[in-house]
Chain A
């Protein structure tokens, strides 16, 4: 019997180990799985490599995970926001490693990781500092940079609705990196605003087919990260 639904965020993030590579969906707050990240703060796995477009805001969500010193390295396109305080401080202190990846290259490297494509060539970054040390090859008279796929041990993803097979639909621009991250992780962990019966999601409308998803937890009232940041909330975790 296939039933990917688990009963709590704690159960959902069980088994994330020290040193794991963890993809985290979201573009700023849109699509960021705040409850799963907080469960990971509680769980305490450390020396994580995180793959995410941004590096967190305020002291909640991804910023809380970084502030709790669980992240040793982050791959992202835009770690700087007006309200990011935790990452800049640790970065300047040399306590977290940053790998800057252009946004489209980041998305495609993740997609390639999920699609069984080990590397690809992109015109982005040619003749820029971000191409340094990378193979450049000419196709049809134009130069391209080789980029390697990214795969992860775990992905933490937020969606709008899921069924017990793990079929997912998303909400508006909260979709962003979710679908490609689901494909690229050995264990994909999803928080859904709503868990629905099989067949409720029209097969024509499924965005992420269940084969890419392993655990689903219903979080029916997810926090608005911007609200938490505005209220200067801090998340330090629950002692286990």
Chain B
């Protein structure tokens, strides 16, 4: 229910801010396309975070200003971006060595579904009419040390995205560490879900009612 999402809980910006608070000073971070990109705007002052984009740039800056876009300087979403002083360019195999080799500290991704064991489905709904596309999602969840998911708690038709078992094709199994939704922040630990923080106006009972998976209180 759309109205529910608006009245109760956090806005998308507040969700992004919650994620940003959990990214430590000095972290190397890869932000997925879409809502995860908002996280960069909320990193607290005094923390230095280096952004990695898997198409070959460490030290990604802000989105390019209109009129100064460079078609050869893009991010993983193919948006025109900038590079900060101290940035580095590299080829794709090196870029994914950073990912697969465990050198990137945090990756923030969107989700279709997250299971109570931390399985993630975010690349395909399994609809045979869709053109299948995976990009770097499977490499990221397999290689980055900490995977944060940022997502609305429920779908537009009010179905829970936090499920017992993903029904959509998996991106990775047991890969998610923490889920940030408009209702709560939930940790995945020992294949169980623990509610870390509730959004204003959200009770544990309300949260469980809107969640297919079993939740545990800290």
Q: Residues of A with Cβ closer than 8 Å to B?
A: 27-31, 53, 77-81, 87-88, 91-92, 98, 100-108, 110-111, 122-130, 170-180, 207, 224-226
Question: Which residue of A29, A78, A104, A175 is within 8 Å of B56 (Cβ)?
Answer: A175
B173 contact from A78, A91, A126, A224, Cβ within 8 A: A126
Pairs A–B under 8 Å by Cβ, sample size 17? A27-B55, A29-B78, A91-B131, A100-B134, A102-B138, A102-B139, A107-B93, A108-B100, A123-B143, A129-B169, A172-B70, A172-B73, A173-B57, A173-B89, A175-B56, A180-B93, A224-B71
On whether the beta carbons of A80 and B89 are closer than 8 Å, the reply is no
Q: Is the CB of B57 within 8 A of A103?
A: no
Are B72 and A104 touching (Cβ within 8 A)?
Answer: no
Shortest beta-carbon distance from B9 to chain A in Å: 30
Task: Give Cα A176–Cα B137 distance, bound, in whole angstroms.
Answer: 17
B74 touches A27 (CB 8 A): yes
Chain B residues near A92 (CB-CB < 8 A) = 129, 131
Assess whether B74 is in contact with A28, with CB atoms less than 8 Å apart: yes
Q: Mark B118-147, 1 if CB is under 8 A from A, else 0.
A: 000000100001111111111100110000
Chain B residue numbers with a CB within 8 Å of A180 are 91-93
Question: Interface size for chain B: under 10, 10 to 19, 20 to 34, or 35 or more residues?
Answer: 35 or more
B195: A residues at CB distance < 8 A: none
Q: Are A175 and B91 in contact (CB under 8 A)?
A: yes
Interface residues, chain B, with chain A CB atoms under 8 Å away:
53-57, 70-75, 78, 83, 89-93, 95-96, 99-100, 124, 129-139, 142-143, 169-173
Report chain B residues within 8 Å CB of A29: 71, 74, 78
Beta-carbon contact of A27 and B139 below 8 Å? no
Question: Once the chains bind, are B170 and A79 in contact (CB under 8 Å)?
Answer: no
Which of the residues B54, B78, B139 comes within 8 Å of A28, measured between beta carbons? Answer: B78
Q: Kindly list chain A residues whose C-beta atoms are within 8 Å of the C-beta of B96.
A: 103-104, 107-108
Partner of B135, one of A30, A77, A91: A77
A130 and B138 contact, CB distance less than 8 A? yes
Decide if the interface of chain B is mainly helix, strand, loop or mixed. Answer: loop
- How far, in angstroms, from A79 to B131 measured CA to CA in the complex? 7
Q: Which partner residue on chain A sits nearest B76 by CB separation?
A: A27
Question: How distant is the Cα of A196 from the Cα of B139 in the complex, in angstroms?
Answer: 38
- For residue A121, give the distance in angstroms from its CB to the closest CB of chain B: 11
User: Are A176 and B142 interface neighbours, CB within 8 A?
Assistant: no
CB pair B170 A128 closer than 8 Å: yes
Cross-interface CB contact of A176 among B91, B129, B133, B170, cutoff 8 Å: B91
Chain A residue contacts of B134, Cβ below 8 A: 77-78, 100-103, 130
A103-B135, A107-B95 known; A81 and B78 CB under 8 Å?
Answer: yes
Q: Is the CB of B139 within 8 A of A104?
A: yes
A173–B172 contact, CB under 8 A? Answer: no
Option from B100, B133, B143 in Cβ contact (under 8 Å) with A77:
B133
A27-B78, A30-B74 as given contacts; A177 in contact with B133, CB under 8 Å: no
A224–B130 CA distance with the chains assembled, in angstroms: 28
Q: A79-B133, A104-B136 are in contact. List 10 more A-B contacts (CB 8 A).
A: A29-B78, A98-B131, A102-B137, A124-B139, A128-B138, A128-B172, A171-B72, A172-B57, A174-B72, A176-B56
With contact pairs A87-B131, A173-B72 given, residues A30 and B136 touching in the complex (Cβ less than 8 Å): no
Contact B131 A88 (CB under 8 A): yes
The interface residues of chain B lying within 8 Å CB-to-CB of A103 are: 54, 92, 96, 134-136, 139
A-side contacts of B169, CB under 8 Å: 128-129
Determine the chain A residues whose CB is within 8 A of the CB of B129 once the complex forms. 92
Inter-chain contacts of A176 with B (CB < 8 A)? 55-56, 91-92
Question: CB distance B171 to A104 under 8 Å?
Answer: no
| Docked-complex contact B55 and A173, CB < 8 angstroms | yes
Among A28, A108, A175, point to the contact of B89 (Cβ < 8 A). Answer: A175
